[in-house]
Amino acid sequence: MPEYKLVSKNYEFPDQRLLKAALYRGGYEQWKRVIKEKTSPQAIIDEVKTAKLRGQGGAGFPAGVKWGFVPKDSPKPKYLCVNADEGEPGTFKDRTILEKDPHLLLEGIAIACYAVGIHTAFIYMRGEFYEPQAIVQQAIDDAKKEGLLGKNILGSGFDLDVIIHMGAGAYICGEETALLNSLEGLKGWPRLKPPFPAVIGAFACPTVVNNVETISCVPHIMRMGGEAFQQVGTEKDGGTKLFAVSGFVEKPGVYEMPLGTSLKELIYDVCGGVKDGKQLKGVIPGGSSSPILKPDEIDVPLEFEAMAEAGTMLGSGAVIVLDETVSIPQIFMVMSRFYAHESCGQCTPCREGCTWIYKISEKILAGDGKPEDLDTILSLAPMMNGTTVCPLGAAMAIPVMAMVEKYRDDFLALMKN
Ligand SMILES: Cc1cc2nc3c(=O)[nH]c(=O)nc-3n(C[C@H](O)[C@H](O)[C@H](O)COP(=O)(O)O)c2cc1C
């Protein structure tokens, strides 16, 4: 299946980040149409539901359904928080939207806010995104000058402020409720759910949290119609997805594919296969939180349900290709070190579990491991799943179990007795 470019349609034009160029290529046309035709907010939500647009930040929750949860009669202000934290190891797709087509994101933000009755949108960006911040801020300023954002947009009486908030570089702040705490100036600790942010979110007000890519699909849904958008993908997962492919592959990069494309096709046909003709050792298909697949498991459609059936996750669409030279125990150690470092410490199973597993992985790599250590990992990891406020602990536990179960011999080979 070839690439199908919607969100990345204008990536090839280096001037696309400029308002003039974006307008020339049809930017803000859907936003102008919504304003001019006074489209009903509910009609937009319905279109997004028909499109079967799923959250592209990892969990895959249907976007239109989430928007529908926001109470219509709340006397409080409502907020949109665009999640531009992009902290999942292996993921580098949202950055391309921010840098290459910021006006697409802003048009999506405007339509989403109009649909839900929101007048303030935050873009929560990871602390290291200096360049994307400058590019998006310029885009906001230019769109405001053109009357596409700000007060009384295009004479409609609709106001919308878009504010960039920079994080301080913590993986946990990508989790939506930790993000909200961080936005409020509090420690980036996740909150218990329910209540969900759509009901009680930022500053105790109803808040939609959506990923950058999710929101950037909205102008395309409005242009194509929800049904046509859905049909690009599968019955339950409409449209396309950006895949950030990295590791030992001939042509790493960001590729936009229809949802439902086979992972094998993406690696071999689109990305040119394993680098230098080497053998494939495994694929981490959806960022570091997704369980690894062995070479005979990769002929699987890239959609939320099929990936779950295959025992893994579509996640954020970060495909990490590992060749025969890669040491799985080494990957295991690097990953567990990351999670041990990034666990916020709020919940004991995650704080202690991540650290224990990291310590065991170091012991194994140093040649001091014993087969019983693998059993300790397999008995400890399940206790981190479902016992914490947020899924960070599970995001480590489930993939490490898959590595130990599928590549046990690689671990045993490092043990002297
Ligand atoms: C530890 C952790 C880190 C996360 N990091 C991100 C992130 O960097 N970007 C993102 O969009 N979602 C991230 N998520 C998912 C968010 O909690 C949330 O589901 C998402 O932003 C909702 O947007 P969506 O429905 O459009 O995907 C993370 C979740 C967890 C548990």
Distance CA 132, CA 229 (A): 28
Residues 284 and 369 in one domain: no
User: Tokens 């759910």 belong to which residue?
Assistant: 193
**Tens-digit pLDDT profile for residues 172-229:** 999 999 999 999 999 999 999 999 999 999 999 999 999 999 999 999 999 999 999 9
Cα dist from 139 to 86, 114, 162, 258, 359, whole Å: 20, 19, 11, 28, 46
pLDDT value at residue 416: 75
Instruction: Name the closest-CA residue to atom 25, ligand 1.
Output: 55
Mutate to test the pocket of ligand 1, among 49, 61, 67, 88 (most ligand atoms within 8 A of CB): 88
Which of 80, 175, 385 gets mutated to test ligand 1 (max ligand atoms within 8 A of its CB)? 175
- Which CATH number fits the domain that encloses residue 408? 1.20.1440.230
At 161 the three-state DSSP class reads strand
Q: Three-state DSSP class for 280?
A: strand
Do 141 and 57 lie in a common domain? Answer: yes
Q: Are residues 337 and 249 in the same domain?
A: no
Q: Report the nearest-CA residue for atom 18 of ligand 1.
A: 176
Q: Tell me which residue range forms the domain holding 337.
A: 328-412
CB of residue 213 inside a 6 A radius of ligand 1 = no
The pTM assigned to this predicted structure is: 0.98
Is residue 405 a part of any domain in this protein? yes
**Same domain flag for 108 and 215:** yes
Q: What is the pLDDT of residues 115-170, one digit of tens each?
A: 999 999 999 999 999 999 999 999 999 999 999 999 999 999 999 999 999 999 89
Total tally of structural domains belonging to the chain:
3
Q: Could you report the per-residue pLDDT of 332-365, keeping only the tens digit for each?
A: 999 999 999 999 999 999 999 999 999 999 999 9
256 Cβ below 6 A of ligand 1 = no
